[in-house]
Amino acid sequence: MSKGKKLALGLLSVMLGLTIISFSRAGIPAFNPLQNIARIGLWEREYTGGRYTVIKDEHGRIIDMMARVVYKGDEIIAADNTRYRVERVEGDTAYAREIGRERIAWEDYESVPAAAGAQRAQAGRTPGGARNLIAIYHTHSDESYVPTDGTDSIPGHGGIFKVGSVMAQKLRSQGVNVDHDLRSHDPHDSDAYRRSRRTAVSLLQKGPGALIDVHRDGVPDPSFYQETVANEDVTKIRLVVGRENQNMGANLDFAKRLKAYADKKYPGLMRGIFLGAGSYNQDLSPRAILIEVGTHTNKRDEAQRGAALFADIIPTVLGITAVPPPGAVPPSTAGDWKGVLWVLAAFLIGGGAFLILSAGSWEKAKARLKQITSIEWTNFLGRRLRKPSREAPGQANVSKDDKVEEKELNDERAPFQKD
């Protein structure tokens, strides 16, 4: 069998195997249609066992509840700005220790951009152009609210889309451009963030000032999220920042700004900030945030009102409703620079460790580093001198593969390094 045929056969058998796997998990509708009806949205319902974590402080006081498993090292900035760190987890109870009090006050942030509402900018004419766009999407596109939607999960058409729409509407009414993405990322499993990553990237290509992934929580107690804010019955909103990515510091600062202004304008709206294990695709942007609007046992109307109030604060926080003085940009936050340091430190430590390991000793590592800086960069930036062709014009019968080898492989690297 030729190599090409073998390759085709191999690829085909891999695809066949995958098809069998996927059908064995999902069931073939043609063969057992009745069974399939029951299986629609099976993945989505499985997780609604109502499992949630209660987080207590040293005195046994409940400080938070959420429908995720909490890990040691996760942090919570409570509504009152007390910061806790989870010390140990026993079953569905996490014990956190108070580690300080955050100063989250809008007065500290509002100097630049200019005072909110001073001059309303026209849509699309804001200085800083792209910043006048906010992108909204939903990783868990099935999430719904039981009292209003009848169930906690509607695969592909969750009530959460309507909450996102209300947010988008409110933002547009303030002259902000909104890209509300309605793509479904079902099934609701661990892979949902891989699917929604594509949506997030396509939204980021339009250059939004912020990227918001709208969710709802799964804590059974509706009162945990219910609140009356600005004379309206709303659900509170929790901000979630992923700890496992280089943008964590920048995104946490963004979350703090949001909380600071929300605390000032709509006290009680914020449930707090949760810094959890995970990335939530926030590695893609230093202005990405995940929000939980209420929980599945809340009425969707309340969630929509809460989302509208939240949308009301965003333009000011991003500095897109006010025209800043020419040349003024929002200042870099400490978190932004911390992010830069983290990325550089990780690269230097990781790269250095690898260099020493692969070279075998400190001296050899240094020599190799020198090789990288001297040979590879000149190779990269300068024009490489071509060897004069030894081939006579008539000698064109050299096999094609050999030719490729000669011209394309890197001379400075031994072939074994390329295996």
Q: Which of residues 223-242 bind other proteins (CB under 8 A)?
A: 242
Q: Reduced to 3 states, what is the DSSP secondary structure of residue 101?
A: strand
Minimum distance of other proteins from residue 413's CB (angstroms): 8
Contact 379, 412 (CB under 8 A): yes
Smaller CB separation from other proteins, 39 or 172: 39
Smaller CB separation from other proteins, 17 or 100: 17
Smaller CB separation from other proteins, 52 or 310: 52
Q: Give Cα separations from 275 to 56, 76, 361 (angstroms).
A: 16, 6, 40
The stretch among 3-11, 79-87, 265-273, 295-303 that binds other proteins (CB under 8 A) is 3-11
Smaller CB separation from other proteins, 58 or 376: 376
Contact 246, 252 (CB under 8 A): no
Strands 133-137 and 288-295: unpaired
Name residues contacting other proteins, limited to 178-197 (CB under 8 A).
Answer: 183-191, 193-195, 197
The stretch among 127-135, 170-178, 222-230, 295-303 that binds other proteins (CB under 8 A) is 127-135
Q: Both tokens of residue 263? A: 């605390």
Contact 117, 316 (CB under 8 A): yes
Q: Both tokens of residue 198? A: 């594509």
Minimum distance of other proteins from residue 414's CB (angstroms): 6
Smaller CB separation from other proteins, 39 or 264: 39
Minimum distance of other proteins from residue 67's CB (angstroms): 7
Name residues contacting other proteins, limited to 12-31 (CB under 8 A).
Answer: 13-15, 17-19, 21-23, 25-29
Name residues contacting other proteins, limited to 240-299 (CB under 8 A).
Answer: 242, 244-247, 250, 276-281, 283-284, 286-287
Q: Is 129 in the site for other proteins (CB under 8 A)?
A: yes
In the chain, helix, strand, coil percent, each to 5?
Answer: 40, 20, 40
Q: Both tokens of residue 253? A: 């600062």
The residue from 379, 391, 398, 403 that contacts other proteins (CB under 8 A) is: 379
The residue from 39, 56, 264, 265 that contacts other proteins (CB under 8 A) is: 39
Other Cβ atoms less than 10 A from the Cβ of 73: the count is 12
CA 331 to CA 342: how far, in whole Å? 20
Contact 93, 61 (CB under 8 A): no
Minimum distance of other proteins from residue 197's CB (angstroms): 5
Minimum distance of other proteins from residue 155's CB (angstroms): 4
CA 275 to CA 70: how far, in whole Å? 10
Name residues contacting other proteins, limited to 61-100 (CB under 8 A).
Answer: 67-69, 71
The residue from 46, 80, 221, 391 that contacts other proteins (CB under 8 A) is: 46
The stretch among 129-137, 162-170, 259-267, 302-310 that binds other proteins (CB under 8 A) is 129-137
Give Cα 235 to chain centroid, integer Å.
Answer: 23
Name residues contacting other proteins, limited to 340-359 (CB under 8 A).
Answer: 340, 343-344, 347, 354, 357-358
CA 187 to CA 39: how far, in whole Å? 12
Q: Give Cα separations from 244 to 10, 74, 188, 288, 414 (angstroms).
A: 37, 11, 21, 14, 37
Minimum distance of other proteins from residue 271's CB (angstroms): 18
Q: Is 41 in the site for other proteins (CB under 8 A)?
A: yes
Contact 276, 68 (CB under 8 A): yes
The residue from 175, 220, 268, 330 that contacts other proteins (CB under 8 A) is: 330
CA 68 to CA 252: how far, in whole Å? 19
Q: Which residues contact 180 (CB under 8 A, 6 or more apart)?
A: 135, 136, 137, 164, 165, 167, 168
- Beta-strand ranges (E) seen in 36-142 are 53-56, 62-66, 75-78, 82-90, 93-101, 133-137
The stretch among 144-152, 204-212, 228-236, 304-312 that binds other proteins (CB under 8 A) is 204-212
Angle of CA points 215, 230, 324, to nearest 5° = 75
* Burial environment of residue 163 by CB neighbours within 10 A (0 to 12, 13 to 18, 19 or more): buried
Minimum distance of other proteins from residue 307's CB (angstroms): 21
Smaller CB separation from other proteins, 234 or 240: 240
Minimum distance of other proteins from residue 92's CB (angstroms): 10
The residue from 115, 130, 345, 398 that contacts other proteins (CB under 8 A) is: 130
